Amino acid sequence: MIDLFKQIAVEAVECEKPVAVMIGQFDGQAVLVEQKLKLSGEQVMFLKGVEVNDGDSVLMLREQGGQRFIVLGVL
């Protein structure tokens, strides 16, 4: 029962924050976030017209749950 209440509380907090703004570094194949998270493939989506080069810092939105990241542009 206590675990259920914990899960409900966590989900309630997450619902208040549907996205998070993050900064990452593009290394030519993937986006590195805080030197410990490497995003690639289906995890990362780029807005149309956004051109990213190797070494660029990018501004991203992290969807709720942290499964997909949307690159908004280069900083």
pLDDT tens digits, residue range 11-66?
776 666 677 889 999 998 899 998 788 888 889 999 999 999 999 999 999 887 76
| Separation CA 63–CA 18 (nearest Å) | 6
The dihedral of CA 28, 39, 22, 48: what is its sign?
positive
- In the chain, the amino acid numbered 39 is L
Question: How much is the pTM?
Answer: 0.72
Domains with residue ranges and CATH for the chain: 18-74 (2.40.50)
pLDDT of 74 > 90? The answer is yes
Q: What is the pLDDT of residues 33-48, one digit of tens each?
A: 987 888 888 899 999 9
Q: What is the pLDDT of residue 31?
A: 93
Phi-psi region of 10 (alpha: psi -120 to 50; beta: other; left: phi over 0): alpha
Q: What is the pLDDT of residue 62?
A: 87
